[in-house]
Amino acid sequence: MELPISFKQRMERMLGSSYNNFEEALRLPAPVSIRVNSAKISATPNLSKVPWAGNAFYLPERPMFTLDPLLHAGCYYVQEASSMFLEQALKQTLDLSQPITALDLCGAPGGKSTHLASLLSADSLLVANEVIKSRASILAENVTKWGSGNAVVTNNDPRQFSRLPDFFDVMVVDAPCSGEGMFRKDPQAMNEWSEENVKLCAQRQQRILMDVWEALKPGGILIYSTCTWNELENEQNIAWLADQENSESIKLMLEPEWGIMPSQLQGIEGYRFYPHQVLGEGFFIAVLRKAGVPQEHGRSSRKKKYKLSVAGKKEKALVHDWLKESEKYEFLQWGEVISAIPANHFEALDELYQNMHVIYAGTEIAEVKGKKLKPMHSLALSQHLNKSKFSSVDLNLEQALKYLRKEDISLEGGGNDWLLLQYQGVPLGFAKQIGNRINNYYPKEWRIRMELPPELPETGLLG
C-alpha cells in the first residue's frame, strides 16, 4: 500500500510518534463486525463485543454472508464498528424513550438507518433518505428487512428538506467525503484521493449542512460524521456551521479503553477513530445542538386534502389482524397495495408525502387481487407480523437458500394456501402452495445470484 505523499505528510504531523503504528494498522486486514436485530432474534453470539454499541459483535474472520439466511431475514446487519458510535451520540444527547422524529440524510446502504430504527422508541418516526435513486432502492431493501415498521424511505436532494421547516428532532448527516478512513478496506478510495478532492468534499458538505438545517427543530440535535481524518471536512466544517447558526457543540463521554481520540478546534468537540487505536475503520463524529427552544406545536388538525389514501373498512377488516397490536396502525391503500403506517404519525407522514419523493413507508401488507389477498414480502419481514394468522413451514439450510435464489422447492403435504416460510423460526417470506407444488414469491430483485457451493456451512453466525 503506497499512501499519497501529501496525505502521509499530514498524518505524520497529526499523529507524531504514533504515525508508524497508524501506517502499520492500515496494512492489516479490516476487522469485520455485525449488529444483531434483537427484535427478531434473541440469540447472543459467543463473540467479542463492540464496546460502544449494544448487540454488536466482532467476527474472527469474514464468512460468506450470502449463505446465511438469517442475514436475508434481517436478523443482523454487517456494519463497520467505528460507525456504530452513533449509538453513544444518540444515547448521550436524547431521551430515547420519548417519541422522536429522526432523519438519516445520507442513508444508503442502511447501516445507520437500521441502527437508528433499533434505538428509537416504537412510537418514533424515522426518515431514511438517499439522493441517488439506485442506492435508495438498496436502502429501502435493508430497511424493509430490518422490519421496524416506523420508517419511511425517501429519495430526495438535501435542499428539498427545506420544505419541512422545524420537522426533525435529530438529524444524522453521514456526509459523502474523501474516504481517507476507508483506504485499507477500499483501495479505490486511495486511488481517487487528492487534496483537491478534499476541498471539493468540504464545500459539498457545507452545502448539504445548510440545505437541511432549516428542517431541524430549534433545540434539535445534529450528528455529523465522515469516514475521513482531515480537519477541513471535519472540525472546520462543524466550526463553520456553529458560527453561521450560533449553535452549541456537545461534548460526549468516552471510556479510556475505547481508544477514541477527542479533538478540539474553535470550540468544537470532535471524536476521531484511528485504526491503530480502535478495532474499526477511520471515522469522525461531532454533535451540535441547534439554538433555540423546542416548540410544542402539533401539526394542524384542521380539515385538509390529504395525499394519503386510507383503506376502506372492508379492506382493513381483511388484514387488520395480520399485525400484532393492529390498533396502533392506520391502513392505507395505493392502487392494489394495502400498507400499514403508525397511526400517531399520520399527519407527519402525509406532510412527507405532500413534499417529498417517498419510495417506501411503514409496512406493505397485502396486494388485493379481486376478492383475494396476496401477502406482501415486507409483511413476512416485519417485526410486528402476527405469525399465528399463517401456516408456517420451517426450512433447512439448503431449502432456505434455494428459496432465496427464487428456485423451486419441494415441501411435504398439499393444499391451496399461503405459507410463511421460516429458517430457525425466523420468517424468510411467503410461498403459495398449490397441491404439491410451491410457487416461490421471493422478490426477484433481492434473490441470491451466486451458485451454491457443493458443501454448505453447518451453522450460521447466530446458531
Q: Which residue numbers are catalytic?
A: 227
If residue 364 lies in a helix (H) or strand (E), which one and from where to where?
strand 363-369
- Kindly write down the DSSP assignment for every residue of 159-181, as one continuous string: GGGGGSTT-EEEEEEE-----GG
SS3 108: coil
Cell readout for 256 is: 479510556
SS3 7: helix
> Where would I find the beta strands (DSSP E) of 68-191?
76-78, 101-104, 125-129, 151-154, 168-174
Q: Which residue has the cell 463473540?
A: 47
Dist CA 147 CA 384 (whole Å): 8
- Cβ contacts of 41 within 8 Å, gap of 6 or more: 70, 75, 76, 426, 462
Angle at 134 between CA 147 and CA 362, to 5 degrees: 25
Q: At what angle do helices 235-245 and 195-213 cross, to 10 degrees?
A: 30
Dist CA 344 CA 125 (whole Å): 9
> Where would I find the beta strands (DSSP E) of 194-317?
216-226, 248-249, 261-265, 268-273, 283-289
Half-sphere exposure of 397 (CA within 13 A, CB side): 14
Q: Are strands 168-174 and 101-104 parallel, antiparallel or unpaired?
A: parallel
Half-sphere exposure of 201 (CA within 13 A, CB side): 25
Dist CA 72 CA 379 (whole Å): 14
Which of 218, 274, 208 lies closest to 240, judged by CA? 208
